[in-house]
Structure 1
Amino acid sequence: MVTPEQIEHWRGVLLRLQRGPAPRGEQFELCREVLVAAPGTPEGREAARLLLEGSMADATTSIADAQDVMNLLKALSSGALDLTQLLEYR
């Protein structure tokens, strides 16, 4: 079970990743554009997941954000969290 506080915290992590610079690269810039244009769509959810996964491979991601992203990805994988919960209040 994920608490409302965790959802709010993870929403902030995703917003930081959306602002950049990590993860870096053209693919991630496209993800950021999709999240601005269509956050509640299947494409928006896929873009958010790509940003989260990409941040784990980018050396410029802070250790604190990497730890938060890892916990967020674990919650997604276990089914305790759905990306729509992070994207619905944008």
Structure 2
Amino acid sequence: MSEQENVVELLRDIKGLLSHTKKVMNVDDLAIYTGLSKSKIYKLTQLKLIPTGRNPNIRQKFFDKETIDAWLMGEPNLSDEYLEQQFNKQLLKNKK
């Protein structure tokens, strides 16, 4: 590995560490922070199973880091089967 590649890798590591100091995160930040996929985050958001910001004037989803930390420690059921069941229930509810 060249010295330039080492520097680039080090800068990526630093950028990742700095992203964990943000108070407010977007979906990309949250995916990196939690290790959850973006699709799982969107499903959780759709089902209102993950705490999000409440600003109706902003379409993009934002997440408060402290609230997410507390939510993660609450041991929510994030299994794919559970999320699919909840998502399907919501779809059926919306069709009626």
TM-score (ref. length: structure 1): 0.29
Which gives a bigger RCO, structure 1 or 2 (Cα 8 Å, sep 6+)?
1
TM-score (ref. length: structure 2): 0.28
Structure ID, larger Rg = 2
Q: Which has the higher strand share?
A: 2
Q: Which has the higher helix share?
A: 1
